[in-house]
Structure 1
Amino acid sequence: MTILSGFLGAGKSTLLNHVVRHHQGRKIAVLVNDFGQINIDSDLIVGRDLKKIELTGGCICCTIQKDLLTGVINLMKQVEKPDHIIVECSGAADPVQVLNTLSSPLLRFHLHVDGLFTVIDCSQLLKIDGEYLELVGRQIDAANLLILNKTDLIDSQGLKQVKHFIRKISPSAVMLESIRCQVPLDLVLGFKELPEPKGAGSFKEMDIHVHEASGQGRIAGILPAVPSHQMKSHNLVFESWSFKSVAPFTKRAFKKVLNNIPPDIIRAKGILYWDDLEHPTVLLNLVGQWIDIDVHFNKEAFPMETRLVFIGKSGWKKRSDIESKFNDCLA
């Protein structure tokens, strides 16, 4: 089993798609967790003979731990068990808590977590600050393989600074440079050469990524309780908002809004439906100030409608009039 971690927009789903498209005959099962109510990541992962479980409505490191455990157990009960299971965490997740869940007595004798991989956006890493940097540090420190993604977006000096920053947190994890997460599959599926991931007991509790509702999402007697004074909801750090519409956007008006997106939005992704006859549906990816609109994604899997998820700093939605601006852009 592999746990796939990384901050918002680092490239986790890109890596997962690379794996499922080139799995070399292995039976792969994936569990995909998206922090927002719309699981865009799961929709974009397509592969033959792929078992896929969506985990929505919360984060697998805290509020829906039980859903993660149940999903894995159900996979192991199937007659044709998968050769390899990959768990994609949300960008807001603490991977140490996910590792803790997957190390429970219910799974210990049936599954082995051989990899905890963290994907790093080299172009954004040094721009992250505050509580978010604490989370990224946690994701880096927990990993036994660090995939330095988007190296084409920075120069050699910038990459050197990124590596120096990483080594201060994780002196020994293997680092692998990549563009669009194109990495050798042997490293992802059951490698043997890399060091074992650190056990959950090696880390202190991270107070900004445990749900404030006492015991919610945890499994009594299996997962350790967290002291109430250490509990703090994801919603105090991240805020997610979704937008859906079957009516198309006016392309010119939407682009104007997009180019003036609130700075507190960290990540946006999803399907855009607009009044472009040649490309009526496109895939939107936004990370910080970087925006990409892809017209060549697998459109057959999606209806003609807009489905977008925005994740930002706590309270960004109240400070923004983005919803009314989007409604004004509808044709």
Structure 2
Amino acid sequence: MSGAFETEGGGPAPLPPLPVTVISGYLGAGKTTLVNRLLTEAHGRRITVLVNDFGEIPLDESLIVNRDGDTLSLANGCMCCSIGGDLFDAIDRILEAHPRAEHLVIETSGVADPAKIAQIAMAEPDMALILTATLVDAANFEAGLADPLLADTLVRQVRAAGLVVISKADHAGAEATAALAATLAQMAPATPRVEAAFGALPIEMLLDPAEAPAPAGHVCGPDCGHDHAHSHDPAQDHGAHYRSWSWSGAEALDAAAAEALIGAEDIGLYRLKGVARTPAGWVEFHRAGRQSSFRPAQAPADGLSRAVAIGFAARFDAGALDARWRALLV
């Protein structure tokens, strides 16, 4: 069952959406250094970081208190989890954890389009996208733009960002860094950018939207008068890759028909989860890819049934699912 339903009192109660930060950047841009700081600094937050391979994160062994398959638990309450074969499954594991993380950071692969990852966070009702930050290697980015095999990836990563972090400026030098800043200003003029040597970026800038910097690379101090409420919707630059649907109500579901619909192949559904009342009692259900489950569950504290679903935009008709779902009500 999702972490959105946690036992409290006599039954499950909804938790607030889990804040999410997506960290992007091409290979060598410094994502691993930044992730290591998020996991080990004394910032007082219980952060879970989702990575492709935590074997690449240079964690101090003395900080690791438990290893359990794809998960490392640290002494400060933070966790590092491997994505494994399926991002949705990894997100489910994190939402179901007890206690649940206070913030989720997703590190994308070096060649990934962060807009697609951000779309998942925006479509998932149990998550709230805070920021997509893209790290740009000051020493190598301009050369990458000149490579026809890399340029499209680099441009997409920058344009998907709500914050661009210029890393390795100390290696590139002032002249090259200034030239890069001009390039980025043309590529994404409305996107704030900051310089950060050796991953030295204020952690709160990644975790708290109120700490987002003003545009054009200015890092605000305590007396700064700028408006910090900057946000960026990746869908402005990219098509919506995912669509979501949700439902809640006091009605009961026809259990057999609901189980058949949850497992159906013709609705373009990738992921569905929820809890519902049936004439025979409460059930919880999951669908991830082609795998689905349907089993007995506790009644939620508010007595309401609820379901949420995500599908690929090109194939998922949320209106059709809604009509078929309401036909199950008894």
Distance 2:234 2:151 in 1: 22
Q: Does 1:29 align with 2:52?
A: no
Aligned residue pairs, count: 204
Over the aligned positions, Cα root-mean-square deviation in angstroms equals 2.8
Q: Tell which structure's C-alpha radius of gyration is larger.
A: 2
Structure 1 range deviating more: 70-79 or 143-152: 70-79
The residue number in structure 1 matching 2:161 is: 143
The residue number in structure 1 matching 2:110 is: 91
Alignment of 1:90-239 (within 5 A): 90-104=109-123, 107-108=124-125, 110-128=126-144, 129-194=147-212, 195-200=230-235, 202-204=237-239, 219=289, 222-224=310-312
Give a deviation string over 1:230-280, Cα, whole Å, max 9, x none. xxxxxxxxxxxxxxxxxxxxxxxxxxxxxxxxxxxxxxxxxxxxxxxxxxx
Distance 1:179 1:160 in 2: 15
Higher share of residues assigned strand: 2
Distance 1:74 1:197 in 2: 27
Q: Does 1:17 align with 2:105?
A: no
Which of residues 35, 53, 71 is equivalent to 2:81? 53
The residue number in structure 1 matching 2:24 is: 5
Distance 1:172 1:204 in 2: 19
Unaligned segments of structure 1, at least 5 residues: 57-63, 207-214, 228-331
Q: After the TM superposition, which segments of 4 or more aligned residues of structure 1 sit over 6 Å from their partners?
A: 215-218
Distance 2:182 2:311 in 1: 35
Note closer, same or farther for the CA distance 1:180–1:74 as it changes in structure 2 (3 Å cut): same
Distance 2:311 2:52 in 1: 19
Task: Using the TM superposition, give the Cα deviation of residue 95 of structure 1 relative to its aligned residue in structure 2, in angstroms.
Answer: 0.5
Contact 1:97 1:200 in 2 (8 A): no
Name the SS of the counterpart of 2:127 in structure 1: coil
Letter in 2 for 1:53: C
Note closer, same or farther for the CA distance 1:25–1:77 as it changes in structure 2 (3 Å cut): same
Note closer, same or farther for the CA distance 1:4–1:187 as it changes in structure 2 (3 Å cut): same
Contact 1:32 1:41 in 2 (8 A): no
Name the SS of the counterpart of 1:79 in structure 2: coil
Contact 1:30 1:86 in 2 (8 A): yes
Letter in 2 for 1:146: V
Give a deviation string over 1:162-188, Cα, whole Å, max 9, x none. 011111111021111111111111112
Contact 1:32 1:55 in 2 (8 A): yes
Distance 2:153 2:270 in 1: 21
Paired-residue identity, %: 23
Note closer, same or farther for the CA distance 1:86–1:225 as it changes in structure 2 (3 Å cut): same
The residue number in structure 2 matching 1:71 is: 90
Distance 2:135 2:44 in 1: 25
Contact 1:114 1:197 in 2 (8 A): no
Distance 1:94 1:44 in 2: 26
The residue number in structure 2 matching 1:262 is: none
Name the SS of the counterpart of 2:312 in structure 1: coil
Distance 1:21 1:147 in 2: 20
Distance 1:223 1:4 in 2: 23
Name the SS of the counterpart of 1:120 in structure 2: strand
Contact 1:23 1:185 in 2 (8 A): no
Contact 1:42 1:54 in 2 (8 A): no
Note closer, same or farther for the CA distance 1:197–1:23 as it changes in structure 2 (3 Å cut): farther
Task: Using the TM superposition, give the Cα deviation of residue 226 of structure 1 relative to its aligned residue in structure 2, in angstroms.
Answer: 5.6
Contact 2:137 2:168 in 1 (8 A): yes
Name the SS of the counterpart of 2:39 in structure 1: helix
Distance 1:43 1:125 in 2: 24
Note closer, same or farther for the CA distance 1:189–1:162 as it changes in structure 2 (3 Å cut): same
Task: Using the TM superposition, give the Cα deviation of residue 204 of structure 1 relative to its aligned residue in structure 2, in angstroms.
Answer: 4.4
The residue number in structure 2 matching 1:41 is: 56
Name the SS of the counterpart of 1:172 in structure 2: coil
Letter in 2 for 1:175: R
Contact 1:141 1:170 in 2 (8 A): yes
